[in-house]
Structure 1
């Protein structure tokens, strides 16, 4: 069965590449992926596969049923792009100004579409059911996963698998991790309201820039001096704006940044510590403040048995040259929410471009990935899906 699956995926590899390149030329931003969603839905309809659009927004869910009883296995791919002006010289570069697939979601979509096609062709020999989740709006919180879950995309699902094409990992390598693999991703905004005035009369002012600078300095101590060093955390101030004439002392300064954590207790602690610092510094500088902390995606926490199962499947795939434990990534992913509802695992598929020593990172205007990695991802996801019945006792939580 696995041989048939792999042979057909290889047979349709050119189609996979064609789909990816079409989607790359026609990217759409989070929550605005209307044409991409139509494309996905029509692809399945033309194959005669059961499909539902407008799931939780622009999401699309297709279902392939085998002829024999078994587990219901979900596979997920995201399909939104980023507000980035593409700077590659690819012949299939984005045709939409200021929008680019700079994270590989075009490849994720092409991978799952063709895998769904092959599963449909082999359904008479398959056990159980396969739920193909095409998710919108992964790039921008609150994301598309939660509304799709609320709209029933996980109904009846026993286990879920997902992967991310990872351009900084060597081609042919699968990276996994039990427990947290990607971080919770939060954002914060701080507004310092001081008292402006003439640059020649600082004693008559409450300088918002000086107050903001002190806040930035103190924030650097939150992780280094207040969080247990056994735990992980990142606090980064990414924006500091106080736009004034050269001889005017600012009455207002706006700061914004991000917090990344794996542990919910640490997450709570950092949120509170930021406000303690802001409150104290503003009080000392006779200024008021506004503080907004927005929680983004939770940490992606992989389940142990499902991860070990995926690892064993990956090791049997000829195209997979190595299977390694991954270091936790501080990037965020709303695949986290699927794993809060259903057991499963999320892994990285190495997609480093050929002939490149140092690839451009994800979210870079010159980002690209090795398209052959889509075939590796399809085989790994497909193998995990079709063999799930062999590990049904473990994957259904009945051990």
Structure 2
């Protein structure tokens, strides 16, 4: 059941009252993006805004992150809400009036909007501090875009100490504004990467019989890696293996000594994630041995899969239906993108959902990490309303 602390005020009216301010925050952040682990001015901006709200206990757990605690007068659970703040090394091509002022850096993933939404939610919830049970902990995280990521640093710094559950959201350009995407269980994949060096014996291109050709061997490795998902894994298990780098050779008439191969692996189940590197190395070892070559193999685990807790997802699901209507709530399939929000979910239960920000009439249709990526700013109100009402429903029921 929806818990109402707004008396005669409607949530939509309350959120609308700060809408211009929220948009202003988002545009300031968009104009002044900062890369992962470099968000010093962004963190200071967030700190200053939070400090102006009053009633918050604010800290800086790492150099470029901020945490604010809103502690109600009644005992209860501790809910954390997270927003990420970093930008990407991309040259902006949107031509909007508040485009990035920094060459080669832009908010091409919506983190400026995430930060503005959470600031808005914090400001509104501060107004109802005396009616809240428990605590809302606002986590403004740095460095989501660059592994090992800022989330694990914040976990190690103790930002989840005492937290019972956590929620987070991502603005997305593939859902229309007004739509909210949810999923019970897995929603985003784990992301790992591998690097392979095939070491042969180079020589003249006219005498391939006198060399151990690492390019030929490497192409066989790439081809056979593609068989892993289709022939070595259970068809029910979802995984993606993409070879994204193949580098070798500097001259047309020279067969090189070695080639370097790199790629990305996405999966959901721990057993699949642990099995894939063994299968890749098995292929590399077998093919290089057959040709008398050597190899080096490095496999790095990245972000874990984002696995939503069913009970908490159900609570947010009900809130979403209250806010936007059941017809605008979509149960979506898991996606193979990754998110270091998983580091928080590895510690406490929670859920992660998507806020639609696509507007075809205004040309806001480009995918994430694209130089023309933008968001429909009307979506900011949807995110704030779900954060605010979700927090009230979770803590006060």
Please classify the TM superposition score into its range, dividing by the shorter chain length: over 0.9
Given the alignment of the two structures, is residue 389 of structure 1 paired with residue 395 of structure 2, yes or no?
Answer: yes
Superposition TM-score, scaled by structure 2 size? 0.95
**Comparing 120-129 with 72-81, which one deviates more in the overlay?**
120-129
- Partner SS, residue 350 of structure 1: strand
Q: Find the partner of 1:262 among 248, 265, 268.
A: 268
8 Å CA contact 1:180–1:301 kept in 2: the answer is yes
| Aligned residue in 1 for 2:54 | 48
Q: Cα distance 1:125–1:52, how it changes in 2: closer, same or farther (>3 A)?
A: closer
Any unmatched runs of 5+ in structure 2? none
Given the alignment of the two structures, is residue 281 of structure 1 paired with residue 275 of structure 2, yes or no?
Answer: no
Cα distance in 1, alignment partners of residues 297 and 60 from structure 2: 35
- Partner SS, residue 29 of structure 1: coil
Q: Cα distance 1:320–1:144, how it changes in 2: closer, same or farther (>3 A)?
A: farther
Q: Cα distance 1:390–1:116, how it changes in 2: closer, same or farther (>3 A)?
A: closer
Any unmatched runs of 5+ in structure 1? 392-399
8 Å CA contact 1:162–1:347 kept in 2: the answer is yes
Cα distance in 1, alignment partners of residues 281 and 12 from structure 2: 54
Q: Find the partner of 2:198 among 172, 182, 192.
A: 192
Offset of residue 67 of structure 1: 2.2
Aligned pairs (5 A) from 1:236-315: 236-315=242-321
Given the alignment of the two structures, is residue 7 of structure 1 paired with residue 10 of structure 2, yes or no?
Answer: no
Q: Cα distance 1:253–1:387, how it changes in 2: closer, same or farther (>3 A)?
A: same
Cα distance in 2, alignment partners of residues 50 and 368 from structure 1: 31
Offset of residue 57 of structure 1: 4.1
Cα distance in 1, alignment partners of residues 310 and 154 from structure 2: 25
Cα distance in 1, alignment partners of residues 60 and 277 from structure 2: 35
Q: Cα distance 1:358–1:39, how it changes in 2: closer, same or farther (>3 A)?
A: closer
| Aligned residue in 2 for 1:128 | 134
Cα distance in 1, alignment partners of residues 75 and 60 from structure 2: 29
Aligned pairs (5 A) from 1:147-162: 147-162=153-168
8 Å CA contact 2:193–2:299 kept in 1: the answer is yes
| Aligned residue in 2 for 1:397 | none
Q: Provide, for residues 171-230 of structure 1, a one-character-per-residue CA deviation record: whole Å limited to 9, x for no partner.
A: 111111111100000011111111111111111111111111111100110101101001
Cα distance in 1, alignment partners of residues 254 and 88 from structure 2: 37
Q: Cα distance 1:271–1:358, how it changes in 2: closer, same or farther (>3 A)?
A: farther
Cα distance in 2, alignment partners of residues 114 and 381 from structure 1: 9
| Aligned residue in 1 for 2:171 | 165
Offset of residue 358 of structure 1: 8.1
- The RMSD of aligned alpha carbons is 1.6
Q: Provide, for residues 22-71 of structure 1, a one-character-per-residue CA deviation record: whole Å limited to 9, x for no partner.
A: 11111111111111111111111222343444314422100112222222
Offset of residue 374 of structure 1: 1.0
Q: Find the partner of 1:182 among 167, 172, 188.
A: 188
Equivalent pairs counted in the alignment come to 391
Cα distance in 2, alignment partners of residues 358 and 229 from structure 1: 36
